[in-house]
Amino acid sequence: MPDIVLAHDYLVQVGGAERVVAEWAAGFGARRIVTLAFRPEATFEEFRGLDVQATLPRALAGQVERLLPALPSIAARTRVSGGDVALVSTSGWAHRFRFEIPHVVYVHSPARWLYAADDYRLRLSPLRRAGLAVSTPLLRRGDAEAMGRASAIVSNSAVTQQRMRDAYGLDSVVVHPPVEPVSTDAAVPARDLPDAFAVVVARDRGYKNVPLAAAAARAAGLPIVIVGSGSESLDDPAQGMHGLGRVTDAELAWLYRRATVVVGAGREDFGLTVLEAALEGTPAATVAAGGYLETVQPGVSGFHAASATADDLATAIRRARDLDPEASRDWARGFSRDVHLSRLARVIEEVVQRA
């Protein structure tokens, strides 16, 4: 196995992309990660024992997205060297680093702030939205030039693969993210929850469409547990909404196991959470869009809604709750860590051989 250096946008949250990088570190034995910012207390514990080289000082790590106007130039000055090859996890920044070794770029999504601006700009002030709109053409040119320097490009789903063609005119191979149980232990969250409930795992992002998930669960006669940073603001037990905020992996495992169904209502590039839930025997009800078309097998691990409406998603919830838990587990095992690492290793080895 070549000496692999990892690179990632920034390690300041607990998310699907960060979990993928943690799996790489363990699976490939990589010990060094280059990133823009690192908040060890806010991301996966696995990173604390690694050599994490962050460009931004710790005092700015929690404000990294507020530095958007300066981030392209900061990323371009972030040097990646040593080792035989870099394995790059990006949804906007890490592919812009200054690589002095061959590098394989694994794309979770083309930069939302450039290519899905309607989703991203919802969280910006009017002044910052206007500034981003004006600068987008120039920023896209620099972004495309950086992506074009990759030794190889890998997309996390067929959806992302098509978005890469649309955004950059570049082809890529698809390697789905690794999916493993989030925890071998299960811990009951420290609050009362209903005996039967739906669950949605989504940080506070507009494109996650939590209101639709909540409305669909209500229409299906189920309260909903909402997990993820910012979800505590949605807590309203009287309306059947239980916003827990961030939870531990053991608590998430308990929620997955006890939930009647996991709901996916957003625009996902892959849809990792429905597979994590499937490993625990819990089926999914999702919109028929994006990565869910790849991560949910209708009639086996869940159902897609006929349309992105609360009524149709509620119908999918009712149908999904009758599915065989073991069939869901079998489906999700096809996305295992070993399958992911084996396919990605072949891409890396080809790049190293060409170098």
Report pLDDT digits (tens) over 209-226: 899 999 999 999 999 999
In whole angstroms, give the CA distance from residue 91 to residue 151. Answer: 17
Of 115, 114, 108, 84, residue with least CA distance to 94: 108
pLDDT band at 128 (very low <50, low <70, confident <90, very high): low
In whole angstroms, give the CA distance from residue 297 to residue 308. Answer: 18
What number is the average pLDDT over the span 118-137? 58
Query: With a threshold of 0.85, does the pTM exceed it?
Result: no
In whole angstroms, give the CA distance from residue 348 to residue 225. Answer: 40
The answer, yes or no, to whether residue 344 has pLDDT greater than 80, is yes
What number is the average pLDDT over the span 21-27? 96
Domain 198-333: which CATH number of 3.40.1400.10, 3.10.105.10, 3.40.50.2000, 3.30.2310.20: 3.40.50.2000
* CA-only gyration radius of the chain, Å: 20
In whole angstroms, give the CA distance from residue 34 to residue 78. Answer: 8
pLDDT in tens, 138-179: 788 999 999 999 999 999 999 999 999 999 999 999 999 999
Burial of 41 (0-12, 13-18, 19+ CB in 10 A): exposed
pLDDT band at 122 (very low <50, low <70, confident <90, very high): very low
pLDDT band at 265 (very low <50, low <70, confident <90, very high): very high
pLDDT band at 303 (very low <50, low <70, confident <90, very high): very high
Q: Residues of CATH 3.40.50.2000 domain(s) within the chain?
A: 4-178+336-354, 198-333
The CA-atom distances, in angstroms, between 322 and each of 301, 306, 309 are 10, 18, 21
What pLDDT shows up at residue 114?
A: 80
Q: Return the CATH architecture of domain 4-178+336-354.
A: 3-Layer(aba) Sandwich (3.40)
